[in-house]
Structure 1
Amino acid sequence: MAAAARGRTGRPPLTDERKAEIRLEIARAAVDLFVTQGVAATTGEQIGEAVGVSARTVWRYFPSKESCVRPLFSAGIDVIAACLREWRPGRPLEEIFDRLLAADPTFVAGPERASVGSLVRLTRTEPGLRAVWLQTYDEAEPAFARALAERAGLPADDLRPTVQAAMFNAALRSAVEHFAWRTGGTVADRAESEADLVRTMRSALAVVAEGLT
C-alpha cells in the first residue's frame, strides 16, 4: 500500500487543454523570434526560454523549430469547416465570412492575425516554413471536403466535394498570401488592415464561387 501511494505522488499529468495552451505559447514565441532575428538564428533553447520551458519540452511538442508555428497556421480550420457545412444553397460563397465572424468575432481580428501575416511573408524566403504552411492547407482540405459532402448529402469519397474543397482551399491560401505579400506589414491602422483582408478573401471566394454550387 505504501509503495502504491508513493507511485502516485509527483506532478499530475497535463490536461489536453493545457497541452494545447503550451503548444500555442511555443508557437507565439517561435514566430516572434523568427520575425525579429530570422529562422536560422533561432534555436530551440531560445524558443523554450521565451516560454519558460526547456528545449526538451519544445521538441516534445514539435519535431522541428519550423513546425513550432503550426498552431498559428491551423487555427480556424474547424470553424471554417462548420460554416461550410451550414452554407445555404444558392447563397454567395463569400457570405461564409458573415458566418465565420458570427461564430468567432476574433477570426480576423484575433491576437494571432498580425503574427500570421508576418509569418506568411517569411514563407517566401524560408523553405522550412513554406513546407509547414502548405502542409497545413493539405490537411485542411479533407476537413473542407467532408463539410461540403455533408452539406450536399453526398458520400464522403465523392469526387465533387473533393474538387470543390480544393478550389475553396486554394482561394483561401491565395487570398492570405496576396494580402500578406502585397501589404508587407505596412498598413498602420489595424482596423483598416482587417477590413482589407476580409475584402481580399471575399474577392478570392467570389472568383471560384461559380464552381461551388
Structure 2
Amino acid sequence: MTAARGRTGRPPLTDERRAEIRLEIARAAVDLFVTQGVAATTGEQIGQAVGVSARTVWRYFPSKEACVRPLFTAGIDMLAARLRQWAPGRPLEEIFAPELTTELGVVAGPDRSTVGALVRLTRTEPGLRAVWLQTYDEAEPAFARALAERAGVPADHLRPTVQAAMFNAALRAAVEHYAWLDADAETDRATAEAELTATMRSALAVAAEGLG
C-alpha cells in the first residue's frame, strides 16, 4: 500500500501576502532610485533589498520603473468607494477631511516623504513619469463610475465623466505641486500629512469653482 501523493514544497501565497511583497519591492525600488538613480539600479539590487531573487521581482513587475506602481495606486479603490458614498451636495474637497485621510490613496499608505521623493523623480525620469501618468489614466474610469453611481445616472453619462477628469487632474496636480514645493522642507510626518491634505482640498475646491 502506497502513501497518497500530495503537494509538496511551499504553500501558495495568499493575495494579501502577494500585495505585501509588491509593496516591499516598491519601497525598496524607490529607495534605490532616490539614492543612486534609476539607471544605476538593477532588478538584482531591488530583490536583494527585499530578500527575494531578481526573478521574483520580474514575476511581479515587467520593468524596474513599474516596481513603484503600488505606491501610486494605493487607495484608489478606497477613494472610489468613498466617492460613491459621498452625499450629493456635500463639497467634494471635504473627502479629505483630517479624520478620513488615514484611509485614502496617496495620502495614506506609504510615507509622505517616500511618495514625495518618488513624484519628484517623475520630473526627470521618463519611465517613472509614464507609470505615474498611467496610474491616473486608469483611475479616472473608476472615479467616473463612482460619481455616476453617486448621482444615480448611467456610467457613460457625460457629467460624471467630466467630473472624474476634473477630480483626477486636481488630485494629480495637488500631489505634484506639494511634492515639488516640499523638496527642501524639513517637516515631521504629522505636519507633512496635514499640509498635503490641505493642498488636495484646495485643489478640489478650485476645480469645483470651474473656469468662471
TM-score by length of 1: 0.91
Q: What displacement does 1:93 show? A: 1.6
Question: Could you tell which deviates more after superposition, 94-103 or 73-82?
Answer: 94-103
Q: 1:141-169 CA deviation, whole Å, 9 max, x = no partner?
A: 01100100000111111121111100000
CA shift at 1:138, angstroms?
A: 0.6
Alpha-carbon displacement from aligned partner over 1:18-39 (angstroms, at most 9, x marks no partner): 1111101100100110011110
Residue of structure 1 equivalent to 2:88 = 89
Identity score, percent: 80
Whichever residue aligns with residue 77 of structure 1, its letter is I
- Taking structure 1 as reference, are residues 99 and 188 closer, same or farther at Cα in structure 2, changes over 3 Å only? closer
Deviations 1:165-205 (A, max 9, x none): 00000000000000000111423333222221111111100
Would the aligned equivalents of 1:100 and 1:107 in 2 still touch at CA under 8 Å? no
Deviations 1:5-30, CA, capped at 9 Å, x for gaps: 1x511211111111111101100100
Q: Provide runs of 4+ in structure 1 moved above 4 Å.
A: 1-4
> SS at the partner of 1:13?
coil
1:69 aligns with 2:68: yes
- Structure 1 residues 163 and 202: CA distance shift in structure 2, 3 A: same
The Cα shift of 1:104 comes to: 2.1
Ranges in structure 1 where 5+ consecutive residues have no aligned partner = none
* Contact kept in structure 2, 1:72 and 1:112, CA below 8 Å: no
Note the 1:49-60 alignment, pairs <5 A: 49-60=48-59
**3-state SS of the aligned residue for 2:137?**
helix
Instruction: Using the TM superposition, give the Cα deviation of residue 108 of structure 1 relative to its aligned residue in structure 2, in angstroms.
Output: 3.1
What is the 5 A alignment of 1:14-163? 14-98=13-97, 101=100, 104=103, 108=107, 110-163=109-162
- Structure 2, unpaired ranges of 5+: none
CA deviation string 1:95-132 (max 9, x = no partner): 11128716728973644322111100000000000000
Residues 117 and 185, structure 1, Cα contact 8 Å, conserved in 2: no
Q: 2:149 is paired with a residue of what secondary structure?
A: helix
Identify if the C-alpha distance between structure 1 residues 33 and 175 changes in structure 2 by more than 3 Å, giving closer, same or farther. same
C-alpha separation in 1, matches of 2:190 and 2:204? 21
151-160 vs 94-103, which deviates more? 94-103
Structure with more helix by fraction:
1
Q: RMSD of aligned C-alpha atoms? A: 2.1
Aligned residues: 210
Q: Which residue in 2 is equivalent to 1:9?
A: 8
The one-letter amino acid paired with 2:12 is: P
* TM-score normalised over the length of structure 2: 0.92
Q: Give the stretch that moved more between structures: 143-152 or 111-120.
A: 111-120
Matched-pair contact (CA < 8 Å) for 2:71–2:110: no
CA distance in 1 between partners of 2:58 and 2:4 (Å): 31
Contact 1:79 1:100 in 2 (8 A): no
Q: Call closer, same or farther: CA 1:57–1:3 in 2, change over 3 Å.
A: farther
The amino acid that maps onto 2:78 is V
Q: Which range is displaced more, 152-161 or 53-62?
A: 152-161
**Equivalent residues of 1:120, 1:177 under 8 A apart:** yes
